[in-house]
Amino acid sequence: MPAPVHLGPSFSTLRALARAQATAARDSQECWRTRRFSRGSCFVEISVERRHDERGAPKALVVVREVTALVEVEQRFAALQHHVARQEGMRKVGELSAGVAHDLQNLLSALGCRLTAFELTHAMSDADAASIEAIHRIIGSGNALVAKLHAAAHPAAPAPTSVDLAGIVASAIEIAESTLHAGPRSDDPIAVHVAFPPLPPVWGSVDGLRNMFVNLLLNARDAMPSGGAVWLSAEAFADGVVVRVEDEGSGISPAHLEQIFEPFFTTKQREGTGLGLALARQIMEQAGGNIMAKNRTAGGACFELRFALPPACSPSEPADDLDPSRRGFSAGDP
- Asked whether 152 and 278 are in contact (CB, 8 A), the reply is yes
pLDDT tens per residue across span 261-299: 887 667 665 555 567 788 888 889 888 999 999 999 889
Alpha-carbon distance of 229 to 301, in angstroms, equals: 12
Alpha-carbon distance of 60 to 25, in angstroms, equals: 7
Residue 5 pLDDT exceeds 60: no
pLDDT tens per residue across span 146-176: 776 666 555 555 678 999 999 999 989 988 8
Check residues 90 and 316 and name the one with the higher pLDDT: 90
Residue 334 pLDDT exceeds 60: no
Could you give the domains of the chain?
Answer: 5-66 (no CATH), 80-155 (1.10.287.130), 158-317 (3.30.565.10)
Alpha-carbon distance of 145 to 104, in angstroms, equals: 9
Residue 324 pLDDT exceeds 50: no
A 10 A CB-CB count for 232 gives: 24
Check residues 37 and 100 and name the one with the higher pLDDT: 37
Predicted local distance difference test score (pLDDT) of residue 204? 92
Tell me the pLDDT band of 21, cut-offs 50, 70 and 90.
Answer: confident
Tell me the pLDDT band of 301, cut-offs 50, 70 and 90.
Answer: very high
List the single range of 47-56, 206-215, 252-261, 319-328 with lowest mean pLDDT.
319-328
Q: If you average pLDDT over every residue of the chain, what do you get?
A: 76
Could you tell me what percent of the chain has a pLDDT over 70? 68
- DSSP annotation of 59 reads E
Mean pLDDT comparison of 42-46, 215-219, 312-316, highest-scoring range: 215-219
Note the residue count of the chain: 334
pLDDT tens per residue across span 188-243: 678 999 999 999 999 998 888 988 998 899 889 888 888 899 999 999 999 999 99
Tell me the pLDDT band of 139, cut-offs 50, 70 and 90.
Answer: confident
Predicted local distance difference test score (pLDDT) of residue 46? 82
- Asked whether 318 and 275 are in contact (CB, 8 A), the reply is no
User: What is the pTM (predicted TM-score) of this model?
Assistant: 0.51
Check residues 247 and 130 and name the one with the higher pLDDT: 247
Residue 333 pLDDT exceeds 50: no
Q: Identify each DSSP E strand in 239-300 by its residue range.
A: 240-247, 290-295
Predicted local distance difference test score (pLDDT) of residue 318? 41
Predicted local distance difference test score (pLDDT) of residue 193? 94
The region that residue 300 occupies, defined by phi over 0 for left and psi between -120 and 50 for alpha, beta otherwise, is: left
Predicted local distance difference test score (pLDDT) of residue 317? 42
pLDDT tens per residue across span 104-125: 777 777 787 788 888 888 888 8
Q: Please name the helix (run of DSSP H) or strand (run of DSSP E) that holds residue 72, with its range, or none.
A: helix 68-121
**C-alpha angle 200/201/203, rounded to 5°?**
135
Check residues 315 and 265 and name the one with the higher pLDDT: 265
